Structure 1
Amino acid sequence: MNWARVERRGLVEAMRREGPEAPTLCTGWTTRDLAVHLLLRERRPDAAAGMFLPPLGAWTGRVTRGYIARDYDELLDDVEAGPPWYSPFALADKYVNLAEMFVHHEDVLRGGADPTGPWMPRQLAPELSTALELPLKMMGRVTMGKSPARVQLCAPDGRELLSVGSGEPVTVSGAVGELVLFAFGRAPVDVTFRGDPAVVALLQTARRSV
């Protein structure tokens, strides 16, 4: 089962349902902006490089404006089609795109939610939860490597999925999907914290992203 494709389809369905101007959890991005981001990432590595290399910023802006001007449904058709054969993501889609598609799917589903409020997550298939454990362990080390606490991410059954960072210990418990979202700095998420309240507060406000 390629869960990246399943989440991609769910993401596109949500984006079609919400329309092009709906909010997402990506600060300042609408669903149209998110679609453009995905297409730059998968189809225009020359332009995507400008996100990290300032000298290429003007070129990235030019390509981005071209995508933004396109019909929204056409953008989503291209997102749904997945990475083309020449994309660096094509051969490893099921491995490198699972977290990306899952997190952005939730970015749309939770886009209008209060980041400080409670959230009732969707029920994930057990197989999807299992598949998300690997990207959590890999990407969590990157996104939380500079954490102000020694963070232990634990599944509902008590298994430690990841230990990362340094300092006072904090345990974050929740379903695997919610832990993925927490590791990527998203809110709201349905997780619980155990540790010194001051350290927990620092962790909650710390930057967690690639």
Structure 2
Amino acid sequence: MTRHSLTERAALADLLLAVGPDAPTLCEGWTARDLAAHLVVRERQPIAGLGNFIKPMRGYGERALRRRAETPYEELISQVRNPPWWSPQSNRLADPYANTGEFYIHHEDVRRGSPGWQPRTLGADFDAALWGNVRLFSRLALRRFPAALTLQAPGLGEITAGAGGEPARLIGAPGELTLFIAGRQRASRVQIEAAPALADRLRTASFRL
């Protein structure tokens, strides 16, 4: 089976070099340089990520990101392309689960950060891998959303999520559903079948693992 995490990593590194450090991304307030710095800190300084969960650590994580962003851009992209020999995310056992979705999402953050983008044709094998990620993470990301959600990937199946209540169905390719539950709703091509007010809430909600 293809290691999609590796191919997405390489493709993202190529794109980051091509667009340059000041290119916009879907991550609000982040340029391509900031996004690259985030990826490097995530793998090389994993303790900095604790700021996402432990408020007193937030300042440490922000400082680590700022310092890493000062690295010369080509060197920074080399660090994205070539992960450390071991980290919690990039060791061989964890890599497919920790990095396939991560690098797909951030690849699309750069691709879709500027006008004129079109969805990629990913192929059946990659679609299946991303659907596995959706199945694994959607119940966590959507667990507090007050609705009975069904996520459907045509040809691959459907899963249920949400805290219960009014029904809604999200229909899309696995990559588009991945982007939707990762908070990139405005740039994802997902069909929402729900009452208008609930559909509006889904389009603007902040989903977090």
Structure 2 length as normaliser, TM-score? Answer: 0.90
2:181 to 180, 183, 187: 183
Whether the 8 Å CA contact 1:145–1:164 is kept in 2: the answer is: yes
Residue matched to 1:101: 103
CA distance in 1 between counterparts of 2:115 and 2:39 reads 22
Whether the 8 Å CA contact 1:140–1:184 is kept in 2: the answer is: no
Change (3 A) 1:60 1:193: closer
Q: How many residues align?
A: 204
Change (3 A) 1:87 1:107: same
Residue matched to 1:163: 160
Deviations 1:37-78 (A, max 9, x none): 111110012323234333334433443232111111111101
Residue matched to 2:18: 17
Change (3 A) 1:195 1:79: same
Deviations 1:13-47 (A, max 9, x none): 11111110111111111111111111111001232
Structure 2 residues without counterparts, runs of 5 or longer? none
Residue matched to 1:87: 87
Identity %: 40
Whether the 8 Å CA contact 2:128–2:156 is kept in 1: the answer is: no
Structure 1 residues without counterparts, runs of 5 or longer? none
State the shift of 1:195 in Å: 2.0
Deviations 1:128-176 (A, max 9, x none): 001111111111111111123211111123721x210111111111111
Residue matched to 2:74: 73
Change (3 A) 1:168 1:113: farther
CA RMSD of aligned residues (A): 1.8
Residue matched to 2:36: 35
Structure 1 length as normaliser, TM-score? Answer: 0.90
